[in-house]
Amino acid sequence: MLKEEVRLAFNNARKAGDHLTKDALEAVIAGILQKEKSVAGHEVTDAEVIECVSKEIKVQKEVKEMFAGRNAEKEAEAAGKIEILTKFLPEQLTEEAVMALIEKADVYPDASPKTKGMIIKAVMPQIAGKFDKALVNGLVEKHLANK
């Protein structure tokens, strides 16, 4: 399971004195523990671990943006953490692949806001952890505009 991979990498980083990797994975492990403790006896799935990793990548991207041009050391640290965490995600989809999924999900004759929501709802489970969810809305709008 992915959870064990994350823990193993964390322990190896801790033993090797790799503070960057340790710090990056520490937040993911905290998220995993929080999910497990929210429901007694719940064992997290790989999808939930991917969700935790994606969430931490998003946080690190915000940190990187915040320190851009002001603190090169913090910016580089956030970039390093993003690189480390990305290794735990499944292979990422390209924009073209997501557009193909959107086109496949669009079985509606009109281009209304309701249609947009239904397409997004159909596509999101297929791209979970494989593509930046924040970009999907724009891609669906682009598809509907060309319809």
Tokens linked to 142: 């682009």
Question: Does pLDDT of 132 surpass 90?
Answer: no
CATH architecture of 2-86: Orthogonal Bundle (1.10)
**pTM, entire model:** 0.78
What is the model's pLDDT at position 12?
Answer: 97
% of residues, the chain, pLDDT over 70 = 100
Q: How confident is the model at residue 85 (pLDDT cuts 50, 70, 90)?
A: very high
* Type of residue numbered 71: N
| Chain mean pLDDT for the chain | 91
**In the chain, where the domains are located:** 2-86, 95-145
Helix (H) or strand (E) holding 116: helix 113-127
The mean pLDDT of 30-35, rounded to a whole number, is 94
What is the model's pLDDT at position 18?
Answer: 96
Q: For the ranges 72-86, 91-105, 108-122, which has the lowest average pLDDT?
A: 108-122
